[in-house]
Chain A
Amino acid sequence: MTTTLPVAALAFAPIAVPALTAAGCAVAGRRTAGAAGVVCALAMLAAAVGLGARVVGSGPVEVAGLRVDALSAFMLVVIGAVATIVAVATPAHVATEVAAGRLAPRTARRQGVLVHAFLAAMTLAVLAADLGVLWVAVEATTIVTAFLVGQGRTRGSVEAAWKYVVICSTGIALALLGLVLLNHAAAHARPGADGPGLDWAALVAAAPALDPGVTRIAVVLLLLGFGAKAGLAPLHAWLPDAHSQAPAPVSALMSGVLLAVSFSAILRVKVIADAALGAGFARALLLGAALASLTVAASLLLAQRDYKRMLAYSSIEHMGLLALGAGIGGVAATAAVLLHLLGHGLVKSAAFLGAGRVAQLTGTSRIDRVRGLVATQPGLAAAFGLAVLALLGLPPFSLFASELAIVRAGLGDAVGWAVVVALVLVVVIGAAMLRHTGRMLLGPAPDGPGAATAPRRLPGGTALALAGGLVVAAALGVTAGPLTDLITQATQTLSGAP
């Protein structure tokens, strides 16, 4: 396969553009940085679309350590789409924070730099051909976001940052041990020949020859490790803290993209595991993680008091659903998992941006302090309410389509019991979220000082981002359009075909 220069440039663009923007943000003013962010995100999205078309048309692209297969291209689309939503909403958020004195201009500038570095790290993670590079990139996201989480410098944010870094780094360290063992197994895969190293495609090809004893340990460690970063139980506990303390745009990116990127790593590991150990091993682990995550989410959502944490636990829930789908496996469930990644990214980022706006307006993140939002902020409340409903899997949003497909695949399988248990938990979660959201949104406008001071209209950027995320998610729920081919190809990639 020969790769022409433009294609190579296209493959590098998703990493280079945010990296350059990060550098630019370090010197640019706030307005310019905001505009640059939007341009950068749009460029990433465009590159993703271009790569997607190229991959669908003529197969994977390989350039200098990068490998763009259908899954990478799809993940790039996820990153690009969510990044665009977040970039559109960021300037208004930052402006309000700066105006309120909660954000120093210097910190705002640093936020711009770090966010784009974060984006670059994530695109590197999905484009890396080598699992080792993937690991390095994922770990880099932790480092970059640590200061974004801890940006507020309050007790809460410092605490959240510490927990975030310690838990994620520990988890990801386990994944490194897993990689080391996988490498060991790969080195002994074909006596005499050069081992496949940690190159994913080569590993998949060599997987049947891997030593099962070592690979089993490696897979356990890898799933546990990347699972930590993907917010799967048992190493999920950093997530609510970090997501509730980070600035809203960062929470949106972390929940919408970072989890998805980490989960795509899990998907890649699963391909190797399935080829080396048969489908049962990874399935058992993933189903266990799925049910544990759902249980955790349900237990903590029932009596939740903080709406940002509510959204965070909802992310854990959705990661659990994704793990369920991945565990079920097969073409239908895998395609559903991919669609779910995208849908969740869009909706959850909109939800976090909405929650951030609510927090800016009310000055609190406690559910019981927010009342009658529909009466005071109709647009914001409608967007937030719709986002929550979308998270519960209601049509026309695409989460409905993906959840339906996952359940359908699962019920036709031997793991029907797990799906039923998961559905019960999902119902409990739905009830809890509806209750909390209803309390915030419905009812008469609260009276009291300062109730009517906030402007009823949303800032244009925020409104555009919220509406955009929800509309795209709804459109995806009606038809996946051109993404269908990409998802189909990515599904093929994940079933072991090159």
Chain B
Amino acid sequence: MVAAGLLGAVAGVVAMTGTAWSVALPGLLPLTGLEFDVDPLSGVFLAVGGAVAVAAGIFAVGATRHGLDRPGVQAALPAFIGSLLLVPAAGSIGTLLWCWELMALTSLVLVVAEHRERPAVASAGLWYAVMTHVGFVAIMVGMLVAAGPAEDGSFVAVRAGAADLSPAAASLAFLVCLAGFGSKAGMVPLHPWLPRAHPEAPSHVSALMSAAMVNLGVYGVVRVGIDLLGGGPSWWWVTVLVLGAVSAVYGILQAAVGSDLKRLLGYSTTENMGLVLVAVGACGMFAAGGDRALAGLALTAALLHLMTHAAFKTVLFLSAGSVLHATGSRDLDALGGLRSRMPVTTAAFGVGALSASALPPGAAFVSEWLLLQALIHGLPAPGVVPAVVLPLGVAAIALTAGLAVATFVKAFGIGFLGRPRSGAAAAATESGPAMLAGIGLAALACVALAVGPTVVLPTLADIAGGLVHAAPAVTGTVAIELVGVTGVLSPLLLVAASAVGTASVVGGVRLLARRRDRRRARLWDCGAGPLSARMEYTATSFAEPLQRVFDGVLASEQDVDVSHHRESRYLVAAVSYRRALPDRVERRLYTPLLHAMTTWGRVGRGLATGSVHRYLGYGFVTLCGLLALLVVTR
């Protein structure tokens, strides 16, 4: 696994720098043939997927050693990684579909790996399987429609034939593909599988799915929309942008109020993919408007964000896995106080959380900054649509950024700091070296991307520029310098400045403070006796203000039961408070759908009543009908 990941990463890096290679295997996959074609865009996804696989693979070694993985998982994991890496390398529609479904199959096996432990796993697996299947069919239809005028299914032919595609067919192809790929990227409203499947899978699988697999949804949108169909009208991309913005806000809102650590991370994936889709949408919009330089910038931002998201999501999911392994719980309300018991995991999660909350000098800050730059400079573009869409896009990103901060302060502060809120958390021990090595590797990547994004940015800008036929939008080694528009940012200098600032503050305090010694003391307990974990804020209470603010969107269900003492109804014996936060999109969209399916099934059973007369009657009536038709049409 690690080797495969490493191979993929290396191949990806090589391809990113422009060394394309392709291979055709007509003998494989009967009737269609396989064809692989790695170009720089594939390279990005190969490299990211490979890197995630390396970290997750190392972690998996540790997890296996702890007996966490069953043989089925151990067999399916390499296959999953393999197919994951083959998808971006596919050079024809048939190949892409084949690898895509192979990935779906292997990941499904992995998602349901822990089905014996929790009943939710089976349900999550079903949601995942069905949504993936639907998404696959959408992709298949969309891509095959796109390939209509092409002589065969290879990307080269499709690209060449796209010009002959009627606008209606191209739009149909794009929208259907968007639905299919978007569902894989967790795009609202096609997301419900994601917050189910990602938490229920073993954590290294979650990391692979959340950090590597979802990227392929974006890959598909970029590949089909920008590469194969060559851009298309502006409204396609406005759709992408709006859906991305909705996903981002909705995802992070659910994450902000949730208290299941892994589910929270899953929703955060929806958010981040939403941001990437905003960037991709902006790119397409700019390209359609003729501003290719900005399009390149937006796409660069998208690619960088994909990369940073992959890095920090790997860290976060793997650390969550380490916590889960140590405490047996994903519920933030039962965690806490892990800093002293699991120092490495805590530190890694801290790095990941910092990156995820898009605060400087975190990794995601750079990519979001790039995205914002693209949006800001795009406003002078002509037309009313950008004037409406871009500010709303910025607003959505802004809201997302704020809520992301709240989310990850909660996840880190409640989950790892403070006092343990349960016996399991109090008895937690640090995970083994292999697991920590996997986490540490990903955390290193986070730090590297945060401090030195300029290492990869010019390459990414090259790739993005190549796709939209523009010069690279970003250059610079120490600082990120935008080309064509004013804008400069140096994460390296920012870190240096912060370090200098910190050093001077520490020095200043040492200079000024009279007493250097520190004393350990009791926390202030209002004089009411020792503080206990029950007095601590929990994740639920932490998020309560936000939940109240957004109650109009979230539509939470709350229930307070007060039971009184028998002696007097003025004495309260117990108060129980329950809060449920149903996914509202799901309730509005999927519940009626499921209901309709159930009704269909119930009514449909009436077709098989057991009556042989009725069965024969079907044929008899059809025969008479057909014969009558023959008479009429003669």
Contacts and interface: CB of A to CB of B under 8 A. Distances in A.
Given A407-B140, A476-B30, A478-B28, A428 B597 contact: yes
Interface stretch (A108-116, A162-170, A449-457, A464-472): A162-170
Interface string A275-303: 00000000001000000000010111111
Contact of A303 (B108, B133, B601, B634): B601
Interface string B274-308: 00000000000000000000000000000000000
A298 B626 CA distance: 24
B612 A396 contact: no
A9 interface: no
A217 B27 CA distance: 42
Contacts of B604: 298-300, 302-303
A190 interface: no
A35 interface: no
B27 A430 contact: no
A372 B121 CA distance: 13
Interface string B245-260: 0000000000000000
Nearest to A285: B626
B523 interface: no
Contacts of B119: 443
B140 A339 contact: no
Contacts of B621: 234
Interface in A139-167: 159, 162-163, 166-167
Interface stretch (A71-79, A235-243, A259-267): A235-243
A302 B31 contact: no
Given A302-B600, A478-B28, A392 B141 contact: no
Contact of B98 (A237, A395, A402, A416): A395
A224 B28 contact: no
A234 B626 CA distance: 12
Given A427-B134, A427-B137, A430-B130, A240 B608 contact: yes
Contacts of B147: 412
A404 B130 contact: no
B607 interface: yes
Given A237-B615, A299-B601, 15 more contacts: A163-B612, A166-B616, A224-B623, A285-B626, A300-B607, A300-B608, A303-B602, A303-B605, A382-B72, A395-B105, A400-B101, A408-B32, A435-B126, A438-B129, A480-B30
Interface string B100-130: 0110110010001001110101100110011
Contacts of B28: 478-479
Nearest to A339: B30
Given A394-B101, A420-B141, A427-B134, A434 B29 contact: no
B465 interface: no
Nearest to A393: B101
Contacts of B129: 434, 438
Given A302-B600, A303-B598, A303-B602, A438 B31 contact: no
Interface string B137-167: 1001100110110000100000000000000
Interface string B22-57: 000001111110000000000000000000000000
B393 interface: no
A295 to B, nearest CB: 9
A435 B29 CA distance: 28
Contacts of A460: none
A233 interface: yes
Interface of B: 27-32, 72, 94, 97-98, 101-102, 104-105, 108, 112, 115-117, 119, 121-122, 125-126, 129-130, 133-134, 137, 140-141, 144-145, 147-148, 153, 597-598, 600-605, 607-608, 610, 612, 614-616, 618-619, 621-623, 626-627, 630, 634
Contacts of A302: 597-598, 600-601, 604
Contact of A478 (B29, B31, B137): B29
B137 A426 contact: yes
Contacts of B140: 404, 407, 423
B95 to A, nearest CB: 11
B105 A394 contact: yes
A405 B148 contact: no
Nearest to A298: B604
Interface majority SS (helix, strand, loop, mixed), chain B:
helix
A394 B616 CA distance: 35
B137 A401 contact: no
Interface in A158-204: 159, 162-163, 166-167, 170-171, 174
27 contacts: A167-B615, A174-B619, A220-B630, A224-B619, A233-B618, A234-B619, A234-B622, A237-B608, A240-B608, A299-B605, A300-B608, A374-B116, A395-B29, A395-B105, A401-B32, A401-B98, A407-B140, A427-B137, A430-B130, A431-B597, A434-B130, A439-B122, A443-B115, A443-B116, A477-B29, A478-B29, A479-B30
B32 A404 contact: yes
A370 to B, nearest CB: 13
Contacts of A424: 137
Nearest to B94: A404
Contact of B115 (A162, A224, A374): A374
Nearest to A430: B133
Contacts of A375: 116
A80 to B, nearest CB: 19
Interface in A225-274: 228, 233-235, 237-238, 240
A393 B29 CA distance: 13
Interface string A460-498: 000000000000000011111100100100000000000
B605 A408 contact: no
Contacts of B122: 438-439, 442-443
B29 A401 contact: yes
Contacts of A411: 141, 144-145, 148
Contacts of A392: 133
Contacts of A416: 145
A395 B31 contact: no
Given A296-B607, A408-B144, A432 B601 contact: yes
A404 B116 CA distance: 34
A293 to B, nearest CB: 12
Given A401-B29, A427-B134, A479-B28, A216 B619 contact: no
A455 B94 CA distance: 42
A117 interface: no
Contacts of B153: 408
A372 B117 CA distance: 11
Given A224-B626, A296-B607, A444-B116, A332 B615 contact: no
A162 B607 CA distance: 19
Interface in A307-332: 332
A217 B630 contact: yes
Contacts of A21: none
Nearest to B600: A302
A335 interface: yes
A238 B612 CA distance: 9
Closest 6 CB pairs of A and B: A299-B604, A302-B601, A303-B601, A237-B615, A480-B30, A234-B618
Contacts of A481: 27
A389 interface: yes
Contacts of A170: 616, 619
B126 A434 contact: yes
B69 to A, nearest CB: 15
A224 B72 contact: no
A443 B122 CA distance: 7
A90 interface: no
A405 B32 contact: yes
